[in-house]
Structure 1
Amino acid sequence: MITQALSLSGWSPEAVVFDCDGTLVDNERHWQEARRRAFGAFGLTPPPGFAERAKGVHYADCGRLMAEETQKPELAADLTRALLEHFLALVADDPVTMPGAGELVRLLSGRLPLAVASNCPLEVVEESLAQAGLLRHFQHIVVPSGTSLDPGGGFPPVNGAGIVRPKPWPDVYATAARLCGVRPGAALAFEDSLTGVDSACRAGLRVVGVGPRPTEEDAARADLWVETLRAPDLLTWIRARVLERD
């Protein structure tokens, strides 16, 4: 069932930008397990509610958060490195697409410019999409600057030439819309995390939230909220505003 916060019924997207983890591929559970293993490797216990606070957060920021919330700031770099290593091992062994992701991407492919905006390293996004059979459908993949597999680099506090900051900064979505050749307000984002929803909104995109429905206040941060990408009402809207428009 689709829940409307701000109606999209009279609006048509000119490009679509997808988040990757938790939206296209089921990697969020891998991040959760990787966090558990990284905490355990240093004899630490995850603080209550940490999984929800960490959802959608860039892995380098997550490593720092893990260190801060366990009062071990000196372990920030080590926790970040362990987090990424565990995640890469998990995703290589068990790639799974989210319900309806493949069908929706293939439905839109060739009709609108498609992009991915992710907080993950480029290598992780490309490998995840390739294993899911979806990589060829996307013209652009945007990730934060410096997100190689070396977790040592940070991000500047303000944006500058050539710098793409991670979500919740708007940079990845603003850049994706620009690469697709459309104004941000003409692009539609799909996101599973409130961090990502905020990023897309700040960039000026319209947003569909995907996954278990949050509180009414949080759900209202997106234009629409659906439980999965195969929600019948969502597909009806896509057909009416994209497919039948051709």
Structure 2
Amino acid sequence: MSTAPDRFARAFGDWTPRAVVFDCDGLLLDTESVWQRAQDTVVAARGAVLDPEDDAVLHGSTIEVAAELIARRSGHTEAEVLADLHREFDHELSGGVRTLPGAAEVLRAAAARVPLGCASNSWLEALDHKLVAGGLREHFTVLEASDTVENPKPAPDMYAAAARALGQRPEDCLALEDSGTGARAARDAGLRLIAVPAPGHPVPPADLALTSLTDPELVAWIATW
């Protein structure tokens, strides 16, 4: 059996996951920029004035949270803003979505070893659409989204549901996340965690933090499972 790279051995010992649950936006697919363009369009069209603190709230949030905040800042109804966000996001997504570096390679390696799930604060239809557009849907046996659980991230519901659907206990599953919102959800559900924060974003507490999915030791560790 192959030996785990030192960083992974220090973080996880001889533990290996029986299933893995990936976040989507900002980790596997560059939908953060798609979402940002859609959000900026709606903010401008509705004349909303956002505070600096609003960016932290919006990062990794659900579309419902974004709609409520923009509606509050603009004086329009939440239903109007929500419809705008759905329309603009679908429009931006129709132009295609970029798979982030290392994502396809890591998914192929992990899927050859254990079953995979994807947990996203998107709504389920959008999550499925994004993964298909990015050529990644085939790797996942389980999808959990903001409309498949009672409480989205940062609540642990989504990761707990993904572990159940994958037939595993949370403590036997690994999560990969880029945001503090998602990292908190995974930790509170009891999963082990690798954080891969976007450049310029804080590193959330995790068993191990990487700067990119292209880190060659990640695929090397997966090969030891």
TM-score under structure 2 length normalisation? 0.89
1:53 corresponds to which of 57, 70, 80: 57
**Residues 53/95 of structure 1: CA separation in 2 closer, same or farther (3 Å cut):** same
1:189-225 per-position Cα deviation (integer Å, ceiling 9, x unaligned): 111111000111111111111133678xx63521111
Which residues of 2 match residues 63-78 of structure 1 at below 5 A? Answer: 63-68=67-72, 70=73, 72=75, 74-78=76-80
Q: What residue number does 1:125 align with? A: 127
The question of whether the paired residues in 2 share the 8 Å contact of 1:30 and 1:90 is answered with yes
Q: What residue number does 1:158 align with? A: none
Q: What residue number does 1:164 align with? A: 150
Between the aligned partners of 2:198 and 2:123, the Cα distance in structure 1 is 26
**Residues 80/206 of structure 1: CA separation in 2 closer, same or farther (3 Å cut):** same
2:177 corresponds to which of 188, 191, 203: 191
Q: 1:33, CA displacement in angstroms? A: 1.2
Q: What residue number does 1:229 align with? A: 213
118-127 or 42-51, which deviates more: 42-51
Secondary structure at the aligned position of 1:188 is classed as: strand
Between the aligned partners of 1:51 and 1:206, the Cα distance in structure 2 is 27
The question of whether the paired residues in 2 share the 8 Å contact of 1:99 and 1:230 is answered with yes
Partner amino acid, structure 2, of 1:84: H
Q: 1:47, CA displacement in angstroms? A: 2.6
Which residues of 2 match residues 200-211 of structure 1 at below 5 A? Answer: 200-211=186-197
Between the aligned partners of 2:204 and 2:91, the Cα distance in structure 1 is 36
**Residues 184/25 of structure 1: CA separation in 2 closer, same or farther (3 Å cut):** same
The question of whether the paired residues in 2 share the 8 Å contact of 1:213 and 1:225 is answered with no
Q: 1:134, CA displacement in angstroms? A: 1.3
1:219 corresponds to which of 192, 200, 203: 203
Identity %: 36
Secondary structure at the aligned position of 2:217 is classed as: helix
Q: What residue number does 2:46 align with? A: 42
Which residues of 2 match residues 176-187 of structure 1 at below 5 A? Answer: 176-187=162-173
Q: What residue number does 1:174 align with? A: 160
Q: What residue number does 1:25 align with? A: 29
Between the aligned partners of 1:227 and 1:175, the Cα distance in structure 2 is 28
Secondary structure at the aligned position of 1:93 is classed as: coil
The question of whether the paired residues in 2 share the 8 Å contact of 1:67 and 1:79 is answered with yes
User: What are the ranges of 5 or more consecutive residues in structure 1 without an aligned counterpart?
Assistant: 147-162
